[in-house]
Structure 1
Amino acid sequence: MSRTRWRLGLSATALLTATAVLPAPAHAEDAADYTITVDPAAQGAAIDDTMYGVFFEDINRAADGGLYAELVQNRSFEYSTADNASYTPLTSWSVTGAAEAVNDSGRLNERNRTYLSLGAGSSVTNAGYNTGIRVEQGKKYDFSVWARAEGGTTLTVTLKDAAGTLATARQVAVKGGWARYQATFTATRTSNRGRLAVATTNAAALDMVSLFPRDTYKNQPNGLRKDLAEKIEALRPGFLRFPGGCLVNTGSMEDYSEASGWQRERSYQWKDTIGPVEQRATNANFWGYNQSYGLGYYEYFRFAEDIGAMPLPVVPALVTGCGQNKATDDEALLKRHIQDALDLIEFANGPATSTWGKVRARMGHPRPFHLTHIGVGNEENLPHEFYARFQKFRAAIEAKYPEITVVSNSGPDDSGTTFETAWKLNREGGVDMVDEHYYNSPQWFLQNNDRYDSYDRNGPKVFLGEYASQGNAWKNALAEAAYMTGLERNADVVKLASYAPLLANEDYVQWRPDMIWFNNRASWGSANYEVQKLFMNNVGDRVVPSRATGTPSVSGPITGAVGLSTWATSAAYDDVKVTAGNGSTLLSDDFSGGAAQWKHVGGGSWSVQDGQYVQTDAAAENTLVTAGDPAWKDYDLHVKATKKSGKEGFLVAFGVKDTGNYYWWNLGGWNNTQSAVEQASDGGKSTLVSKAGSIETGRAYDIDIKVRGRQVTLYLDGQEWGSFTDDKPAEPFRQVVTRDAGTGELIVKVVNAQDTAARTAIDLGGAKVASRARVTTLAADQDAVNTETDTPVTPVTSTFSGVADTFTYTFPANSVTFLRLPRR
């Protein structure tokens, strides 16, 4: 894409936001003092057009009921207990009269197997998503159905809600074998609670009952929900990564057989998602529901093209991730998946005369989609097994398509054994790009702005494919903005970056936080969305080196009480002892006299049994109990722990200030595959150190934690397990300066993530710029959250006329500010 088109100035949306004069400078005694020094003669890293992008995964009903504009839920009657234990083929449908879901030889086709047999004089009604089907007065809605009625029948199709009709009913005459029938409604009033009903005079078979708004994104058939697509387009993303996430590499990786003898693989298959929608498969979604594949690979490629983004599909490597540990040894299956990856590249880039290019052309796109990158795998926990299979994918792709960049990954965390092993293999193998994922606390993002400063400039490049600071409050977005200044400063290493996840339907949430929220009537950008949008719309072409003074940091010792917890596990604790550094006993409890010293702050079911403190609920998560004084420091904690049953091991906490601020040693976490020390800060967690390992059921473990100042050493059964020093300052004031080659503007980007305004002296180093700057500011209370009805985090545009070679600017408290300085 052209820099001129996508990267000049503020977005049209930003320019239409409220314009205001700058806030009055804070009083000197209320403001922190900083300096920013710019070196315009020096040359920093070049920033690619594709630096920032978006990551789409069908999580939180992001596809069906979300970006995919279909208004009917379970339109093909394929919902199954394989998707969700509560599902049936009639989920989301209500029946009047006689109706039965049938799977027999009379089906529509081999992939669309279940259909509805509707008796004479009967009807079915669909409830849609959220509160119902949303229709707006005066707008058109296109109905279609595949139907069969050998003796002929008339279908009466209505749109209605509890108050009455929403559009004039339509009569559809059906006769003979399976055929597609269509009708159009014009809504006579607006409703969020609509229902689509289909009634028949005589017996009929129905499948693929569909209702689409005519007004889809770019008015495309089988299209996208307009408001969601336009919010994504407004980001001006450089790339679109799809279709997941954990969605990609999970599933059984085995064929299964139904009574009919039908077999297909349960993991995500791109070939199942193309062609006529009535011939596409449905499948169980990793996140606990059904996915229709109406939004498939063709639609992903088309959307990427429409928004000017580089398409970046990810294919499974036949090694599971996302808390699972499984690798296939089926060489035939692996070869088939490798061939599928090659076929995908041909589908995207091949001429219309090629086998898969011809499929793309028949779908309406004879021109290639210009695929340049493809990801293999996602968050695999078995780095050696993954890399062995990745090498085979890469060899096959590079042999046939040497121009394609094949992207590897480093597992699910920012550090630890899996991360280090994966990076070692990727470096030694000369991999072009490695996909990193991590979700950490705001404090972690403020502490790790320099993460990529020390990466090898000649090693693999980084694709930061998933990151977020575990919340949608303004403090989370502020921390992410501060971190993004470090991403830009290291644009020679970090080539791609995308916040994740992208979308969340407020009534179907599997993961928080998310960038864009929606229901059936509205959508809104989170505070994080506004930060991403500001950065994406003002990237620049090259970093201009600059430096800033820091905030003095005074860190005292780690202080806090102690705690015990479990996660989906039943465990017993005994002989808890806390000893001060001077040898005095702060706490000693063998539970012979009960557990009066302990306070319940989490869930679960705790009781004293046989002289042990036992948590018996093997399904409960985060069952924390605490004891002691939050002012404790420099102490030794001893615990004896025994796992009784469940999925994981033990959680032993220290430095406990309150329910959102503590450390804990998570032994046997992540489905009993690894252990780690995690720090919770304002409710968000970050991993400080981790190792592979599991906990045995029925075995008693001695756990010792030694806290001295900010140094912590951990012992398991008398052997040192690991240690860490938590002394990194959380720097709230960060900056980066870039230059836009097209306009010549300097873009000064400053994040002030503290409650005090930052009065800052800026030295431009003789840069030739005009005296008047365009300013965009995001500022709010740290706990502010954007909602459907209230958006406190909104960009405000203004001008500043005091630009000089050296000038002073006061950055508001809790703010992100971009100054665009035109060339003089």
Structure 2
Amino acid sequence: MPHPHLWPRLTVPVVALLLGALVAAPTRADAGAPEAEPTDYTLTVHPDRTGPAISDSMYGVFYEDINHAADGGLYAELVQNRSFEYDRADNPAYSPMTAWTETAVAGGTGRAETVDDGGRLGERNRRYLRLSLDGAGEGGAGFGVTNSGYNQGLTLRKGARYDFSVWARTDRDTGTALTVGATTADGTSLATPLRITARGDRWKKYTGTLTARASAADGRLTVTAGGSGTVRLDMVSLFPRDTYKGRANGLRKDLAEKTAALRPGFLRFPGGCLVNTGSHQAYEAPGWERKRSYQWKETIGPVEQRPVNANFWGYNQTYGLGYYEYFQFAEDIGAMALPVVPALVTGCGQNKATDDPALLRRHIQDTLDLIEFANGPVDSTWGAKRAAMGHPAPFGLTHLEVGNEENLPDEFFARFTEFREAVEAEHPGITLISNSGPDDSGATFDRAWQLNREAGVAMVDEHYYNSPQWFLENNGRYDAYDRQGPKVFLGEYASLDNRFSNALAEAAYMTGLERNADIVRLASYAPLLADTNDAQWRPDMIWFDNETSWGSANYEVQKLFMNNVGDRVVPSTASTTPATTAPITGAVGLSTWATGAAYDDVEVTAADGTALFRDDFSGGDTRWTKAAGRGTWAVEDGAYVQSDENAENTLVTAGDTGWQNYDLRVRATKTSGKEGFLVAFGVKDTGNTYWWNLGGWANTRSAVEKTVDGAKQTMIEDTTTIETGRAYDVHVQVRGRQVTLFLDGKRWGGFSDDKPAEPFRQVVTRDDATGDLVVKVVNAQAADARTRIDLGVRPGSRTARLTTLQAAPDAANTADDRAVAPRRSTLRVDGPVFTHTFPAHSVTFLRVKG
């Protein structure tokens, strides 16, 4: 997953697509009605021509523990902080007692404290709970702790069974009675309490089952101890019996089932940014580093022996969901397992290459051991560990990725080469996947691809998150890729929101992926899961809370494509939509990002030299519009200064949104902070603008970024950095849709923003099993598309099956409203040529018998 800085404020809604053929989004009530006159198109299928074969694993899913996707999400454990390992070092809001409170029953008293000493459960599970009991009260008195679970509480369902376990030890010779109960937040009992007697002063696992007699979303789990003396508890756990496939230590059923319903060809895991950020040292006690990159050996074996880790995304992960469980999940859903291992070059905004030969050798050996864990026989070292966990048969690993979004291509590739040589020497059947950095273009991307091509790498992972317009404009991205070069794994992509307009743009783009199936061998929307109560990233495919889950509009598009892939592309052609090219228009702006900066002598002139705007700030800043809470702007010493170097996106604007064909000049000086400065043009509003980001990304590069309804795309970039205290003369020239940029009087670069955003896209595939032609059409505009379809061959049946997704562009699925859902119908097809009208704002799959 890319570093959040690359796409600031991703939660800004991405609304209707800004295309010439599109108009204002309709309301839900009129979503099914055409908003403009129907447009005539033609679609011609060429069954006599041969298109590329489509891999069985073409579409898959990318899983990363972001948005609390694992603990409190896919991993079915209901108890939060079950091993008391939370710590302020991981998150300032954490403590070892996070999610726990002391509880007294019937007058029981005592003291609860977390301890890390020689009495711990294990070196990797160091902290435990010590209950010092006073023996006060009568009979059923007890003292202990209550866990509140994730978010509002533990969700329990009437009649369901829940498996409880705890590791305990006691210094009381006669044993210590433990009472385990489930209640609502107000104390109402939800199940008959479970009675357990802990015996002996050595750690032992105790188990039992609770059956809920009522449903609740605010459940609590309470464990109390009676009598006197000291009892120690660790790994307090409660699992629903009804996990996916009924597995112990298993997965939340509804989330796993929604993933399985996609019929993914592969499962990429475990991330993302958490793979290659943090320390690359392994867990070593004592003195272990809490923030480590994800390392597979820490995540296998008995659950109580696995350490916790401080997740890159700001919370803890228990590793209860580890590499064994990932392999098992991939097998359960019929997907190819595709693990990602760290390359020892950090990514996601952290540009650092580890220069430790011994550490590199250890990680390479870990990777070789991973392959043995997945594929080795039961008498091999790591194959034996897999077998001991319950899977003697090999998992059949075929693909493995090294690294994720490294922004130092040469450093990354030097290390990748060492991984590659070692893997090819011992496991020549494994396809090793490289990557091309965090963006769809730019200096890092170009250099990474050059290195990959020259070395003959088998497959390269590309990642990009862009605006819906970018996806509509770039349907032909892979048409020109070298057919003899590395194949593409599109490991992460999305259009930055979960509205139907986003899903439409992605669907249109996917027709281009399938058309180029000989180049794009694997593709996965990202990320997969998000807890609606605690998400670090949007968009996401499947949203959930404690009680329910739902697929986004994007999920419905992905599911439609993934369930109807076909085995080979059948070439087809279609007419296009007449395009109108209006000039770039908009006001101007100044901004900063984690930087202090000073601006002076702002001047805007028309192409003929006529002055449109001048400001030397001698009269204050009254001509500039500021957004509340966006930085600290003030006129100081005759310059306009933004002084809060912690503030992000501090855009102030001036001028007329109707300006076109103009020159913007400004003198800009970085005064402090991590970045450079930003000069904006073509400003419609804060969500629709261009800006020249000079010294961005921790002052490692510069780029012009275009924002459409809050979603960004990069137009041009290079490696320019900005010096603190130096004044720069910035000049932006706008002519029609051509932009030319000058820095200190020298041409820095330029671009033409004139790609057509074609809203009508198609691809046709053949399903070998059924003989069907699958005609896939996206109509991402506000007009119906009346289309003459020529199949080139007489269909085998007069009835074709249609599946249609249609909704208002701003429609979004929620827990209570599935606004975007497939509609199935039939179509009379009397011959090879017929007419069908594809509704406005729709994705239609037409299955015709061959």
In structure 2, C-alpha distance between the alignment counterparts of 1:114 and 1:28, rounded to whole Å: 63
Distance of aligned partners of 1:25 and 1:770 in 2 relative to their CA distance in 1, 3 Å threshold = farther
Aligned to 1:545: 571
How far 1:367 moved relative to its partner?
A: 0.4
Alignment coverage as a number of residue pairs: 800
> In the TM superposition, what whole-angstrom CA distance separates every residue of 1:369-391 from its partner, at most 9, and x where no partner exists?
01000000000000000000000
Is 1:154 the counterpart of 2:146? The answer is no
Aligned to 2:235: 208
In structure 1, C-alpha distance between the alignment counterparts of 2:36 and 2:385, rounded to whole Å: 68
How big is the alpha-carbon RMSD for the aligned residues of Structure 1 and Structure 2? 1.6
SS at match of 1:479: helix
Distance of aligned partners of 1:362 and 1:256 in 2 relative to their CA distance in 1, 3 Å threshold = closer
> In the TM superposition, what whole-angstrom CA distance separates every residue of 1:686-730 from its partner, at most 9, and x where no partner exists?
111111232222222221111111111111222221111111010
Distance of aligned partners of 1:325 and 1:27 in 2 relative to their CA distance in 1, 3 Å threshold = closer
Deviates more, 1:645-654 or 1:35-44: 645-654
Distance of aligned partners of 1:366 and 1:280 in 2 relative to their CA distance in 1, 3 Å threshold = same
Alignment map for 1:379-778 (pairs within 5 Å): 379-601=405-627, 603-778=630-805
In structure 2, C-alpha distance between the alignment counterparts of 1:443 and 1:265, rounded to whole Å: 38
SS at match of 2:124: coil
Task: Tell me the TM-score normalized by structure 1.
Answer: 0.95
Aligned to 1:190: 215
> In the TM superposition, what whole-angstrom CA distance separates every residue of 1:566-585 from its partner, at most 9, and x where no partner exists?
12222221111111100011
Aligned to 2:7: none
Aligned to 2:25: none
Aligned to 1:288: 314
Match of 2:153 among 132, 136, 142: 132
Alignment map for 1:89-238 (pairs within 5 Å): 89-96=96-103, 97-120=110-133, 121-151=142-172, 152-163=175-186, 164-176=188-200, 177-201=202-226, 202=228, 203-238=230-265
The one-letter code matched in structure 2 to 1:111 is: R
SS at match of 1:122: strand
Is 1:331 the counterpart of 2:360? The answer is no
Distance of aligned partners of 1:29 and 1:516 in 2 relative to their CA distance in 1, 3 Å threshold = closer
In structure 1, C-alpha distance between the alignment counterparts of 2:479 and 2:304, rounded to whole Å: 51
Aligned to 2:327: 301
SS at match of 1:77: coil
Aligned to 1:38: 45
SS at match of 1:148: strand
In structure 1, C-alpha distance between the alignment counterparts of 2:180 and 2:126, rounded to whole Å: 23
In structure 2, C-alpha distance between the alignment counterparts of 1:710 and 1:608, rounded to whole Å: 33
How far 1:489 moved relative to its partner?
A: 0.1
Q: Is the 8 A contact 1:745 1:820 kept in 2?
A: yes
In structure 2, C-alpha distance between the alignment counterparts of 1:270 and 1:693, rounded to whole Å: 38
How far 1:306 moved relative to its partner?
A: 0.3
Aligned to 2:12: none
In structure 2, C-alpha distance between the alignment counterparts of 1:197 and 1:805, rounded to whole Å: 68
SS at match of 1:452: coil
In structure 2, C-alpha distance between the alignment counterparts of 1:108 and 1:256, rounded to whole Å: 16
Q: Is the 8 A contact 1:119 1:200 kept in 2?
A: no
Q: Is the 8 A contact 2:35 2:783 kept in 1?
A: no
Q: Is the 8 A contact 2:291 2:311 kept in 1?
A: no
Q: Is the 8 A contact 1:703 1:717 kept in 2?
A: yes
Q: Is the 8 A contact 1:255 1:265 kept in 2?
A: no
How far 1:175 moved relative to its partner?
A: 1.4
Aligned to 1:245: 272
How far 1:122 moved relative to its partner?
A: 2.8
Is 1:83 the counterpart of 2:90? The answer is yes
In structure 1, C-alpha distance between the alignment counterparts of 2:423 and 2:278, rounded to whole Å: 24
How far 1:644 moved relative to its partner?
A: 2.1
How far 1:253 moved relative to its partner?
A: 2.6
Aligned to 1:805: 832
Q: Is the 8 A contact 2:282 2:295 kept in 1?
A: no
Aligned to 1:7: none
In structure 2, C-alpha distance between the alignment counterparts of 1:25 and 1:150, rounded to whole Å: 71
> In the TM superposition, what whole-angstrom CA distance separates every residue of 1:350-370 from its partner, at most 9, and x where no partner exists?
011110000000000000001
Q: Is the 8 A contact 1:25 1:810 kept in 2?
A: no
The one-letter code matched in structure 2 to 1:566 is: T
Percent of residue pairs identical = 69
Q: Is the 8 A contact 2:759 2:781 kept in 1?
A: yes
> In the TM superposition, what whole-angstrom CA distance separates every residue of 1:604-640 from its partner, at most 9, and x where no partner exists?
2222122111222222221111111111111111111
> In the TM superposition, what whole-angstrom CA distance separates every residue of 1:742-768 from its partner, at most 9, and x where no partner exists?
100000000000111100000111244
Q: Is the 8 A contact 2:543 2:551 kept in 1?
A: yes
Match of 2:56 among 26, 49, 55: 49
Task: Tell me the TM-score normalized by structure 2.
Answer: 0.92
How far 1:162 moved relative to its partner?
A: 3.0
How far 1:252 moved relative to its partner?
A: 2.5
How far 1:802 moved relative to its partner?
A: 3.1
SS at match of 1:357: helix
In structure 2, C-alpha distance between the alignment counterparts of 1:678 and 1:85, rounded to whole Å: 34
In structure 1, C-alpha distance between the alignment counterparts of 2:301 and 2:185, rounded to whole Å: 37
> In the TM superposition, what whole-angstrom CA distance separates every residue of 1:370-415 from its partner, at most 9, and x where no partner exists?
1000000000000000000000000000000001000000000000
Deviates more, 1:330-339 or 1:588-597: 588-597
In structure 2, C-alpha distance between the alignment counterparts of 1:569 and 1:91, rounded to whole Å: 35
How far 1:463 moved relative to its partner?
A: 0.1
Alignment map for 1:321-360 (pairs within 5 Å): 321-360=347-386
How far 1:181 moved relative to its partner?
A: 0.5
The one-letter code matched in structure 2 to 1:98 is: R
